[in-house]
């Protein structure tokens, strides 16, 4: 393909309710979208960087800057452009995996649309629909939490994830278990809010038969996670620590995790996410697909990824109405706890022009 230009588009997507984790509170999703135009087709990519550098060192404004100044020129200089050439072209730029993932996704979407192939087929999906879990942020009271969990179970979600932090951990987990019983698939996510000295407190979660505890310690503390895994019986899942297939292999070798949360934006794109999946599958570790408050564009790609054979646990791939009153694409609707895998060319979804215009806060066209 020949790259003709890239549009940078910022959109503001109001959330149906504030989402609070140990990293902070989100009320509106500030999203950077990339539209790649080639001589064969157009493609879309969604950058999952948040508005500020609190969950990650990346944030939307910085992502836009690095895409504009460094990533697009590097891709434009690639003699034979396809999605598999993007990572190599961008390798001289250190870090900025979320920005790189957005550009690679847009190129891959354009390539697949031109060839009439779907994201799911390209990645190696084996299922036509995927099981869905839901992530519940830190709420103001146990009563509010119980109401929220009950509502999501009634809606059909197959797994519940509770955000936890020091001061909000054992009691909410106990309350949910006591109210809804042992049959509910339940896990917790700490977003690196704990220290190794908190092992005894985290061990108090063991009696509640959790699927896993996600990223309890700092992202660079693989040895700390390996030691914690010896002191608790709840399986340790790594999220922020997994930045590539290589770091996944290292974490597994150290015994730092028994489960991996695969987030394409965090590892630099869907092609690297597939490699993470392959490494974990080779070692017999289950994986699941994490969510980062994506619009329908990012959600479509995540659903395709979650249909790979190693994704044996329900992911954070909720229906559109979990976060947005109106999505950028035709809404993803939960059916018997599952979402269908898009089968059309590329991502298999298109932005709704009227909605896109309504939520757009800025656009920039960069011709080549």
Q: Active site residue: 2, 100, 230, 263, which one?
A: 263
Contacts of residue 95, Cβ cutoff 8 Å, sequence gap at least 6: 57, 58
Tokens 């407190």 locate to: 201
Query: CA dist 106 to 145, 304, 339, Å?
Result: 38, 15, 22
User: 186 is written with which tokens?
Assistant: 């339940």
Known catalytic membership, residue 2: no
Distance between CA atoms of residues 232 and 203, nearest Å: 5
H helix count then E strand count, the chain: 14, 13
Query: CA dist 264 to 183, 206, 235, 304, Å?
Result: 30, 30, 22, 12
Q: Which H or E element spans position 152?
A: helix 142-155
Picking from 38, 43, 9, 11, the residue whose alpha carbon sits closest to that of residue 119 is 43
Cβ atoms of 145 and 172 closer than 8 Å: yes
User: 314 is written with which tokens?
Assistant: 């329900």
Q: Active site residue: 2, 94, 161, 163, which one?
A: 163
Query: CA dist 32 to 194, 312, 338, Å?
Result: 30, 30, 27
Cβ atoms of 49 and 219 closer than 8 Å: no
Known catalytic membership, residue 161: no
Contacts of residue 68, Cβ cutoff 8 Å, sequence gap at least 6: 8, 364, 366
Q: Which residues are catalytic?
A: 163, 263
């Amino acid at each position: 393909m020949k790259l003709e230009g890239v549009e940078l588009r910022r959109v503001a997507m109001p959330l149906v309710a504030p989402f609070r984790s140990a990293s902070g509170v989100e009320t509106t999703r500030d999203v950077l979208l990339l539209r790649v135009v080639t001589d064969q087709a157009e493609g879309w990519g969604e950058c999952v960087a948040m508005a500020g550098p609190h969950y990650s060192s990346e944030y939307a404004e910085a992502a836009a800057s690095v895409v504009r100044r460094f990533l697009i020129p590097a891709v434009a200089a690639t003699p034979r452009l396809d999605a598999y050439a993007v990572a190599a072209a961008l390798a001289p730029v250190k870090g900025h995996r979320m920005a790189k993932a957005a550009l690679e996704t847009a190129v891959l979407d354009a390539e697949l649309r031109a060839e009439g192939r779907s994201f799911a087929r390209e990645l190696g999906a084996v299922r036509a629909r995927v099981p869905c879990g839901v992530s519940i942020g830190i709420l103001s009271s146990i009563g509010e939490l119980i109401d929220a969990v009950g509502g999501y179970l009634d809606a059909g979600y197959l797994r519940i994830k509770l955000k936890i932090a020091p001061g909000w951990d054992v009691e909410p987990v106990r309350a949910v278990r006591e109210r809804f019983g042992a049959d509910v698939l339940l896990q917790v996510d700490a977003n690196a809010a704990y220290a190794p000295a908190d092992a005894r407190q985290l061990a108090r979660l063991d009696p509640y038969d959790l699927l896993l505890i996600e990223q309890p310690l700092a992202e660079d503390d693989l040895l700390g996670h390996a030691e914690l895994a010896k002191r608790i019986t709840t399986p340790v899942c790594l999220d922020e620590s997994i930045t590539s297939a290589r770091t996944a292999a290292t974490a597994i070798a150290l015994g730092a995790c028994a489960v991996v949360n695969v987030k394409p934006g965090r590892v630099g794109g869907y092609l690297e996410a597939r490699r993470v999946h392959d490494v974990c599958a080779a070692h017999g570790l289950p994986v699941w697909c994490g969510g980062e408050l994506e619009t329908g564009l990012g959600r479509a790609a995540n659903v395709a990824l979650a249909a790979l054979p190693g994704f044996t646990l329900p992911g954070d791939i909720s229906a559109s109405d979990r976060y947005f009153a109106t999505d950028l694409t035709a809404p993803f609707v939960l059916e018997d706890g599952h979402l269908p895998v898009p089968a059309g060319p590329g991502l298999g979804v298109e932005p709704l022009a009227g909605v896109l215009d309504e939520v757009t806060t800025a656009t920039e066209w960069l011709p080549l």
